[in-house]
Every structure is written in C-alpha cells, then in structure tokens.
Structure 1
Amino acid sequence: MAGIQMLPYGDVDSNLRAMAGCAEGFGRHAIGGLHGSLYIVTNLADDGPGSLREGCRRNEPLWIVFEVSGTIHLSSYLSVSSYKTIDGRGHRVKLTGKGLRLKECEHIIVCNLEFEGGRGHDVDGIQIKPNSRHIWIDRCTLRDYDDGLIDITRQSTDITVSRCYFGQHDKTMLIGADPTHVGDRCIRVTIHHCFFDGTRQRQPRVRFGKVHLYNNYTRNWGVYAVCASVESQIYSQCNIYEAGAKKKTFEFYTEKAADKEEQKSGIIVSEGDMLLNGAQPCLLTQNREVAMFHPSEYYPTWTMEAAAHSLREILQLCTGWQSISRPVDRMVSN
C-alpha cells in the first residue's frame, strides 16, 4: 500500500542514466558517468580488454554496464576513477576476493551488484578513502568480508547508501576510522531503506561525522545496532530496530579527538523509530555538549514513511541486488 508508493527512486529504471543526480540525502549530487560513453563489460576477467577493471581505471567519464553475468574474482582492490557509474542492472554480477576502492575520486554511482567473500587484512567490500565525495551506493548486496562491508573514512563525504542488503558479517559499516583523524569532521552520510540482517555491529559506527539514518530495518545484531563515538551526530529517523538476544540498540563510545583535551562520545537523536522484541531506546543523556544537526539544514526533502510492519516486509524484498532489466540508454550522442 502506502509503503510501496513511498519507496524512493520510482522512476530511475525508466532510462539508463535517469539515476544520475537522483540520490536522496548527502549523496544527491552524484552523477556518475552521466556525460560519458557507454562502456560494456564483455567478460569476467580480473583485468584486460572488456574487463570491469579496465573500465574503472579509465580517466574519462563512463557509464559501465555488463553483457555477462557471473563472478569476478579480484586479485587486488579495484580502483574506481572519477565520474563512473558501475551499473549491474540486467545481469547478476558478483565481486569476490577483494572489493572496490574509491580513492580521491568524485561522482561515483554503484548500482545492483553483489559483494561476497572478500579475504585479507583490511579488505572491505567498498572502501571509500581518502578525500572522495559525491558517491551513491544503491541496491547492492554485501556479505562476508574480512574487514568492513562499506567503510567511509579520511575526509570522504557527501555519500548516500540506499536500498542495500547487509548480511553474514561482523563489523558492517565504519564511518570515521580513528580519533586522530580530526579532518573527518567534514563527513556527511545518508543511509536509508537498507536491511541489516543479523550483522553483528556497526550499522553503522560513526566518529566525527554527521549521519542521517531513515527507513532502515536492522534486526538480530550481536553487539549493538548503531554506535556514536567521538563527536559524531547521528539522526535516526523512522527506522525499525528488531533485537535478537542482544537488546542494546544504541551504543556510545568515548574517545579523545587528537586536538581536544577531554574524551567525548557522540550523540544520537531517535525520532519515530520502531523498537521491537525488547530493543532498548536511545539514551539522550550522552554528550549533550555536541551540537546536533538536522537533515533539513542540508537537503529539503527525503522520501520517508512511518516505521511500521508493512515497511519491514517491503525492505526484506526490495533491498540488495534485484533481478531487473537494464533500461534503454536514450542519451543522444554529441
């Protein structure tokens, strides 16, 4: 009913490039490869002509699509240069072994891919650092990496993560890696309409940054659902938190920023959240000295509905990789 009507991005699958600039939240300006050529991935090789890696390393803007389905085994991080869209619609492509690295780049869109089985020290599914901005991660499935599923650190900002599925993992999403990284006060991230399915912790954990969470479903965590550490500001709005054995929904860790004398945690404002199965509410007594942002200071609108059981059912169906056709590219070449 209303839940389906209110899901965001109802028209982005009408035209291949309709996604560009349509993200909600902090990543709303990401245009990816809107003004570039179409690059077609023709094989599942780790590198070489027609490979995903070949398209991602090129300097020019590209809208990258696939004509094959299957698994790409990455022997090293796949670095993505600026103004790229990696668009998995129309095929089922899984990345394994390593993950994507978004390093000193801007205007990236990653859509409808699977990430599973990343192995090695410091191996994340999607690693965003340093100094990257205007990024949108949409409808991706991420599970079972040795480090994080998505990590956003080292002054990377203006990022939206939407409609993603997270499972089979411990330290899910880290935003701000260390209390010495005081430049991370610039970080701004929106996470919405995502499903955190039994991931243990960090849905997300935040240092310094401003994070807007809305209409997400987090269930059966193993330590906590959301953690606010040094100076972070987390606005949790109309999310569903369904506890398993562990009931602590919100955690507050105190740390000392490198340029401060006192240890501080962050702050979480919980507004309209649904707490199920004994999930504990937010304790607003934490770190009142931190000024709290409101999303409307940064973007005028976002597609949100009240947290309800109907939303929970929809998010179980509509998050992560989707079996959808690749839209026609109606762009007229210059």
Structure 2
Amino acid sequence: MRASWCSCCCPPSPSPPHDFDDKRNKNKIHEEITNNNDDNDDIVNANDDGMMNAKDDANASAVGPFGGGGFVRGAGGTMGECVPYAHVDSSLRALAGQAEGFGRFSIGGMHGSLYHVTSLADSGPGTLREGCKKKEPLWIVFEISGTINLSSYLRVSSYKTLDGRGQRIKLAGNGLQLKECEHIIINNMEFEGGRGHDVDGIQIKPNSRHIWIDRCSLSDYDDGLIDITRQSTDITISRCHFFNHDKAMLIGADPTHVGDRCIRVTIHHCFFDGTVQRHPRVRFGKVHLYNNYTRNWGIYAVCASVESQILSQCNIYEAANKKLAFKYMTEKATDKEEPASGHICSEGDLFLNGSQAVQQYPEKVFKAHEFYPTWTMETASTALREVVQLCSGWKSVGRPSDL
C-alpha cells in the first residue's frame, strides 16, 4: 500500500557533499560469546505479552524521551501511512539523497545518464558488470528479469545507482563488492546462493562511504549477507529482508582494525527472519537500529563487541528458543592496554515471547541527533511488525518515469 508522506515525516533532500516463503537456516554454526554483566547493567525482561524498555516509554507520540530530532508516530494510523519511503517511487531519481540516517547524503548516479542492462550474462556489452565498472556516474536500470550468475565479485565504482524497480533481478554465485567507492544506491534487488570463501552478498570494504542499500532480499551465502569493514562509513540499510542464513551482518571484522572507529551505520525497517546471528554484530562502530523486526534468532539478535556503540530504538525482538536478545563480546583493541566490550542502549524496544535484554553502560552510547537532525520512527508494536514484513525485501514495483 502506498501513501504520500507529510512533509514533517520526509527527510529533506540534502546537497551532495563536496568530496564526493519462510525458510530456516540449514547451518548449525555456533559462536562463543562472553556475556558481561555488572552493577551498571540495566536488565530488561519480557513476558509472553512483551514489554518496553524500563527507562523509556515506547508509547511516546512525539520526540519526547528520544531527544533531538527523532520523530515518533503512534500506532494508530493506517498501514499505508506507516510505509517508509513511499515518496521515493514518485519518479526515477527521487531515490537520490532520500535515505534517513548516516547514509543520507548518498546520491548514487543522480547526475549521470541512464545505463540499460539488456543481458543476464556475467560480463560483456549490456551487462550489469559492464555498467558498474564505468567511471562516470550512471543510473543503472534493467530491461530484463532473471538471475545473473556471477563467477567473481562484481565491483561497483563510485556514483552508481543499481535500480531494480520494474524487473526482478537476482544475483547468485557471488556478490557485489563496494571497494574504495562512494555514493552508491542499491534498490529492489535479490541476492541468493553465493558460494566460496569470504563470499558475501554485499561486501563493503575498504574506505567506502555514502552508501544506501534499500528494499533488497538477501539469503543463503557462504559468508555474510552484508559485511561493512575497513573504515567504510556513512551507510544506511533499510527495508531489507534477511532469511535462510547464519551470519547476517558484520560491522567491523577484527579487533586489530582500530581505524574502524570511524564506522557509522543506520539500519531501519529491516526484517531479520530466522537468521541465526549478527543482526548485526559490531566492533568499534556507531550503529543506529530503529523499527527493525528480528525474530527466531538461533544464537542472539544483536552483539556488541570491542568499543562499539549500538543505539536500539523502537525495534521488535521476538524470541524462539534462545531468549537473550543482546550479547556482548570482550576483545582487546591493539592500541589499548585492556580488553573491552561494546555498549547497547535500548529505548522503546518491544521484546516478545519471553525475550530478555541487558543494557551495558547505555550512557556511553552516542545520541543520534548529534549526527543527523531527523529520522522517522513508529512506536514498536504488533502493527509495526506487520508494516516491516510488508515493506521489506524485493517488491514488484514499477519503474517510475525519469522526469
């Protein structure tokens, strides 16, 4: 269902920066996590009916406890009023600069010409690979539906939009590599069945920035679905569906990578659907989670490791057999004397089916409004759960006109 958003709910179009069916995972891989609790931890328990965070009232209908620019709407509206980014399908390039959060400056190929993918071959004229390697800005659209079987990573160069609206495109065999690039938008595509060591659905490293991944379906890769490492930053991941997989999303790969302190990622309106772990797992970086739905995890929902700061606002965590939503890992950064874990601050989250969460030093977590002025949240509720399932992943949406 589509609806126009009122002006107060839509993120402003910024000027570009100057420097420019319900599958279960087959794997039974387990990860050892150290759970660190002390007198500064805030414990949140939930009964089968769910509950809100002890510190903040999730029924807030205005900025209220969230501070700064977080615009919170109650659950009383119709579903169409709640669908995020409904306005971006009004014209082809309406996507550019419209992400919320840390990736809000991404313009993709806004200032480039159209490139038409006419072949499902791995390489050659008219292929996706041919368009992605060109140096000039391009808005890449598809004239054909089907599966592109990649024999190796498909590297995407700067100032590209991969716009899957109007067709159904699936990448298989390998994934996208965003390496030392900026201003990338990936919208309405599918990623499934990547095979090989270190093969991710979307691999973002090193030194990449201003990236928006929106409305994609990702499943069944040998490594991660989305990995963000090696000083890649200013990224938003929204309306994505993650399923049939073990390690969904890694942000920061190693405690020796101290440069990853620059990493900043926003994840919102994503559906983590029975994936085992890493929703996400974070080292060093700052991550803002809001209005996501994570259910039936196999080990944990969210993991905070060395020095990471995770702000979790108005998300839904629905447990199956494993009840603990938040986990912590202690690791030693190479430039520090003592090991450290990460920190999670939970505000207005909804915990269902007996989920439990422990906040560790929430006062040490960043405030989102210190980094961007506005973002739009719904109250965590069963209505939001339906909205996230409705809007996440590849959708059969027509390609808008290039006005």
TM-score, structure 1 length as denominator?
0.97
Q: List aligned pairs for 1:244-255, cutoff 5 A.
A: 244-255=320-331
Residue 161 of structure 1 pairs with residue 237 of structure 2: yes
SS across alignment from 2:81: helix
The 5 A counterparts of 1:166-185 are: 166-185=242-261
Within a 5 Å distance, the mapping from 1:111-122 to structure 2 comes to: 111-122=187-198
Distance 2:210 2:401 in 1: 25
Tell me, yes or no, if the aligned pair for 1:226 and 1:249 is still in contact at 8 Å.
Answer: yes
Match of 1:35 in 2: 111
Of structures 1 and 2, the one scoring higher in RCO (CA 8 A, sep 6+) is 2
1:56 aligns with 2:132: yes
Helix, strand or coil: the match of 1:234? strand
Unaligned runs of 5+ in 1: none
8 Å CA contact retained: 1:6, 1:303? no
What's the counterpart of residue 381 of structure 2? 308
Q: Which runs of 5+ in 2 are unaligned?
A: 1-76
Q: Which residue identity is paired with 1:66? A: F
Displacement of 1:103 after TM fit? 0.1
Amino acid at match of 1:84: K
Deviations, residues 26-59 of structure 1 (Å, cap 9, x unaligned): 0000000000000000010000000000000000
Q: CA deviation at 1:3?
A: 4.5
Across the aligned residues of Structure 1 and Structure 2, the Cα RMSD in angstroms comes to 1.0
Contact 1:46–1:53 under 8 Å retained in 2: yes
- Please give the residue correspondences for 1:68-83 in structure 2 after superposition, counting only pairs within 5 Å: 68-83=144-159
The answer for the alignment partner of 2:368 in structure 1 is 295
Q: Is this contact kept in 1: 2:293–2:388, CA < 8 A?
A: yes
Kept in 2, the 8 Å contact 1:240–1:307? The answer is yes
TM-score after normalising by structure 2: 0.80
Superposition map of 1:157-306 within 5 A: 157-281=233-357, 283-284=358-359, 286=360, 291-306=364-379
Kindly indicate whether the alpha-carbon contact (under 8 Å) linking 1:205 and 1:227 is maintained by their aligned counterparts in 2.
yes
> If you compute each CA radius of gyration, which structure gives the higher value, 1 or 2?
2
1:317 CA drift (Å): 1.7
Give the secondary structure class of the aligned counterpart of 1:169.
coil
2:43 aligns with none
Query: Separation in 1 of the partners of 2:167 and 2:365?
Result: 42
Residue equivalent to 1:317: 390
The number of aligned residues is 327
| Distance in 2 separating the partners of 1:103 and 1:291 | 31
SS at match of 2:356: coil
Distance in 1 (CA, whole Å) between partners of 2:239 and 2:361 is 31
CA distance in 1, matches of 2:387, 2:209: 30
Contact 2:227 2:251 in 1 (8 A): yes
2:160 matched residue in structure 1: 84
SS at match of 1:304: strand
Contact 2:345 2:361 in 1 (8 A): no
Share of identical aligned residues, percent?
74
User: Would the aligned equivalents of 1:6 and 1:304 in 2 still touch at CA under 8 Å?
Assistant: no
How many Å apart are 1:8 and its aligned residue? 2.3
Deviation readout 1:295-331 (Å, 9 max, x if unpaired):
100111111010000110121121000000000001x
Q: How does 1:95-134 map to 2 (within 5 A)?
A: 95-134=171-210
Per the alignment, do residues 69 and 211 of structure 1 end up closer, same or farther by CA in structure 2, a change over 3 Å counting?
Answer: same
Rate the CA distance shift 1:267–1:2 in 2: closer, same or farther, 3 A: farther
- Secondary structure (helix, strand or coil) at the match of 1:227 reads strand
Give distance in 2, aligned partners of 1:4 and 1:326: 20
Paired residue type of 1:329: D
- Alpha-carbon shift at residue 213 of structure 1 (Å): 0.2
